[in-house]
């Protein structure tokens, strides 16, 4: 047996009840989120001004949202601070972290290479005889 909500929506649209129903559902959801301890903890703090109370993505009239990371800011803060920079603080931190990772990765590779060269020079300089790769191949054949 298949059920569809489409006839119900069509009926509500014809009777102009759908907008009122959606507004009521929005109001119930918003009230719950703002009053519930767990749900209210999911709000954002504007990183540009750090003012409380938290802001939520569903408050479309008062917020601005980063298109790259979806962080939420007060609209006034975003217009004042983000427009000249064109980058939000979270995106800048992520870029700096990625750049730092790449720099550290290259540094570690260089240090490993230097350490290996130092070990090779120490082991060959101690008077011990270091077997070459050709000697290893002859033994195994």
pLDDT digits (tens, 9 = 90+) for 29-55: 999 998 998 988 888 888 888 888 889
Burial class (CB in 10 A: 0-12, 13-18, 19+), 11: exposed
Show the domain range for 34.
Answer: 12-42
**What is this structure's pTM?**
0.53
Residue 85 lies in a domain: no
* Mean of the per-residue pLDDT values of the chain: 78
Q: Residue 76: what pLDDT?
A: 86
The number of distinct structural domains making up the chain is 1
Residue 27 lies in a domain: yes
Residue 35 lies in a domain: yes
Q: Write out pLDDT tens, residues 48-75.
A: 888 888 899 888 888 888 888 888 889 8
Give, for 15, the enclosing helix (H) or strand (E). none
Residue 61 lies in a domain: no
Confidence bin at 28 (pLDDT 50/70/90):
very high
């Amino acid at each position: 047996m298949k059920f569809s909500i489409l006839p119900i929506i069509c009926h509500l649209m014809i009777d102009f009840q759908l907008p009122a129903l959606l507004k009521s559902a929005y109001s119930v959801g918003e009230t719950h989120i703002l009053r519930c301890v767990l749900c209210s903890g999911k709000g954002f703090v504007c990183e540009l001004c750090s003012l409380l109370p938290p802001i939520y993505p569903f408050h479309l009239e008062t917020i601005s949202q980063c298109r790259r990371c979806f962080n939420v800011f007060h609209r006034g803060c975003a217009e004042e601070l983000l427009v000249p920079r064109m980058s939000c603080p979270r995106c800048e931190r992520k870029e700096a972290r990625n750049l730092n990772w790449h720099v550290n990765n290259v540094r570690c590779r260089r240090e490993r290479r230097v350490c290996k060269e130092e070990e090779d020079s120490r082991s060959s300089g101690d008077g011990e005889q270091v077997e070459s790769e050709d000697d290893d191949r002859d033994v195994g054949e």
